[in-house]
């Protein structure tokens, strides 16, 4: 559900173009203002591995609007990517210097900036939305002799957008701790969790 969180919010709010309209609505507020949406409608995968987890919305107050829920949908994608990013670092006993991103959701610059802010690392968005297809094409070109080596392919020009973290460390930690608390409410299996 990570990638479809914004789509679900848009459907829930009965927006005519659910994903696009929810993303636009979420961009009208500075942040989710303490609202967290854990899109665990079919359980939670990595790094929690709890098939019995269910979706939750936490932190709601009377002052929140549909825009805050839409923004929480955008932020949920970021937090779930951060969960996997940190789990990979822990498993590899290393610190990654940046996140390279591609795919449909990366077209949302607000999402990319928030991803850099929550990770505290640069996010490099590929100018090619679908890198898997590009990779397959490049390998085919290598097999056809268009290039002589992987090094030659690696040196081909690449277009990337750079998003640098701009959020204060204290704010980043507070927001991520709020996400972890929200995930804790969604988990139904006491043995699950990262």
For residue range 52-95, list pLDDT tens digits in order: 999 999 999 999 999 999 999 999 999 999 999 999 999 999 99
pTM over 0.85? The answer is yes
Beta bridge partners of 163: 123
CA–CA separation, 7 vs 25, rounded Å? 12
Q: 191 in a domain, yes or no?
A: no
Q: Is the dihedral of CA 95, 101, 11, 118 positive or negative?
A: positive
For residue range 93-135, list pLDDT tens digits in order: 999 999 999 888 888 999 999 999 999 999 999 887 777 788 8
Q: Domain total for the chain?
A: 1
Residue count of the chain, please give it: 194
**Burial class of residue 168, CB neighbours in 10 A (0-12, 13-18, 19+):** exposed
For residue range 5-30, list pLDDT tens digits in order: 899 999 999 999 999 999 999 999 99
Q: Residue 93 is part of a domain; what is its CATH number?
A: 3.30.420.40
- CB burial of 84-99 (b: ≥16 within 10 Å; e: otherwise) equals ebeeeeeeeeeeeeeb
Q: 127 in a domain, yes or no?
A: yes
Q: 193 in a domain, yes or no?
A: no
CA–CA separation, 47 vs 80, rounded Å? 9
**Window from 9-13, 60-64, 179-183, 186-190 with minimum mean pLDDT:** 186-190
- Give CA torsion, residues 61, 119, 173, 26, to 10 deg: -10
Q: 194 in a domain, yes or no?
A: no
Q: 128 in a domain, yes or no?
A: yes
Q: Name, in order, each residue with C-beta under 8 angstroms of 185's C-beta and a sequence gap of 6 or more.
A: 38, 56, 58
Domain that holds residue 43: 5-186
């Amino acid at each position: 559900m990570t990638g479809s969180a914004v789509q679900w919010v848009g459907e829930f709010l009965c927006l005519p173009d659910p994903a696009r309209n929810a993303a636009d609505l979420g961009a009208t507020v500075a942040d989710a203002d303490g609202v967290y949406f854990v899109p665990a409608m079919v359980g939670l995968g990595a790094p929690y591995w709890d098939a019995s987890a269910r979706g939750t919305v936490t932190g709601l107050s009377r002052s929140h609007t549909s825009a805050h829920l839409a923004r929480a949908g955008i932020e949920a994608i970021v937090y779930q990517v951060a969960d996997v990013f940190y789990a990979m670092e822990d498993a590899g006993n290393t610190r990654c210097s940046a996140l390279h991103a591609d795919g449909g959701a990366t077209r949302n610059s607000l999402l990319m900036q928030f991803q850099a802010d929550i990770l505290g690392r640069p996010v490099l968005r590929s100018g090619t939305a679908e890198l898997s297809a590009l990779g397959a094409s490049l390998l085919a070109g290598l097999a056809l002799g268009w290039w002589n080596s992987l090094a030659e392919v690696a040196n081909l020009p690449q277009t990337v957008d750079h998003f640098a973290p701009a959020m204060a460390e204290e704010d980043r930690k507070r927001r991520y701790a709020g996400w972890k608390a929200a995930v804790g409410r969604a988990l139904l299996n006491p043995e699950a969790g990262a």
